[in-house]
Structure 1
């Protein structure tokens, strides 16, 4: 999924999950990032924090198309940790996110299949403890109307699930909205027809936005 369509999923707030497999402890720590430098800084921080662990494996995917992908097994058998972790991010369509899975060895070998399953399970546990949002490309607009048209405009916005950023009441009413890019033309037509051309619409700028716990967030 790309921003050219409906958007992409990203971690808004990182979290931490933990699993135990045959006495080995796997701690997955998740963080939202924008650059590779941020990812590497976080990985170094986790390695310092969990300096006494046997392994600190990691994976990250950055970009609207997940074009930058990196992973590391950090001493585990080749292909049993970092790549399986990265596969979870790609399968879940999670962008701009780094995951570090720390393993404290419990004395029992898991085998290659067991390691793959454990690192993937731990990664999912970390994601489940995080806040994941859907980022969309949209247009920030300002709708100006008189008090007679406010009810109709609010109805049209509600019917189209358009989030309202702010409402300013003065001589006229100014409603600031964020409209998904693919809905802009359709909504403008409905607003003009619904108010008999009395609503003035000023599309001010393109934005990236998401609904976070029912609140509108503009990035």
Structure 2
């Protein structure tokens, strides 16, 4: 029986992100200044910077377009920009609001998220402390309402089985709680695919379960990994 190796590409096998789709927009007003926060799920720096440049064009008459983003399963890419606000009063508070966000009790794993706060100056100076609070609050308030998902790295594994036995085995696997991916058909065999947690316990458990179901006659063949978004309960 072939041994399935866990992907070494990332230490993380799951993290929290923003649900795909339209941008999430939230606005607050502080002492006549408008702070418009735009959140978007972004999986690379080009996508993050595209959001920033697009909002500069859309809100071309705004005083500032401050930004922050955190990317990657291990959150190893983190950037921020004050865009003309006093150094350290906008981008860094925004970034800290992202990386310090608790998505569960004691869990800080938010990633692949970009935030841009567009500020229309209202004529009243807020001071350094006021700006820090305003930009941090803007992002935090938006995250309070934004739709989040659990992004999980799943290992795709193929199971080759005779056509006559494929239906029953697939039903047994589904009944056991396994997530089934695409099924394909060869001349003599059906190829079932399972989407498994990409970690040693999950793969070992599936291997043992399959062996018990088939008297050790059928094994798992690894076919790579993919990240899948699952709605949070």
Question: After TM superposition, what 4+ stretches of structure 1 lie above 6 angstroms from structure 2?
Answer: 168-173
Q: How does 1:178-217 map to 2 (within 5 A)?
A: 178-182=195-199, 183-197=202-216, 200-213=218-231
Kept in 1, the 8 Å contact 2:182–2:192? The answer is yes
Structure 1 window deviating more from structure 2 (73-82 vs 10-19): it is 10-19
Which deviations, in whole Å up to 9, do the C-alpha atoms of 1:154-212 show, x marking residues without a partner? 222x1xxx3222457999765422101111112110121134335x3442422122243
Where do 5+ consecutive residues of structure 1 fail to align?
215-219
Shift, 1:31, TM fit: 2.1
Label 1:151 to 1:31 Cα distance change in 2 as closer, same or farther (>3 A). closer
**Given the alignment of the two structures, is residue 62 of structure 1 paired with residue 71 of structure 2, yes or no?**
yes
User: Are positions 1:137 and 2:156 aligned together?
Assistant: no
Aligned pair count reads 208
Residues 1:32 and 2:51 aligned together: no
Confirm or deny: 8 A CA contact 2:43 2:112 kept in the other structure: yes
What is the RMSD computed on CA atoms of the aligned residues? Answer: 2.8
Distance 1:197 1:118 in 2: 61
Distance in 1 (alpha carbons) for counterparts of 2:74 and 2:14: 10
TM-score, normalization by structure 1: 0.79
Give distance in 2, aligned partners of 1:175 and 1:135. Answer: 23
Answer 1 or 2: which has greater strand percent.
1
Give the stretch that moved more between structures: 178-187 or 9-18: 9-18
SS at match of 1:179: strand
Aligned CA distance change for structure 1 residues 122 and 192 (closer, same or farther; 3 Å): same
Which aligned pairs between 1:59-98 and structure 2 lie closer than 5 A?
59-92=68-101, 93-98=109-114
Aligned-residue offset at 1:40: 2.4
- Show CA shifts across 1:121-161 (max 9, x none): 211233345443332332112335514444432222x1xxx
The reply on whether 1:152 has 2:169 as its aligned counterpart is no
Tell me the residue number matched to 1:51: 60
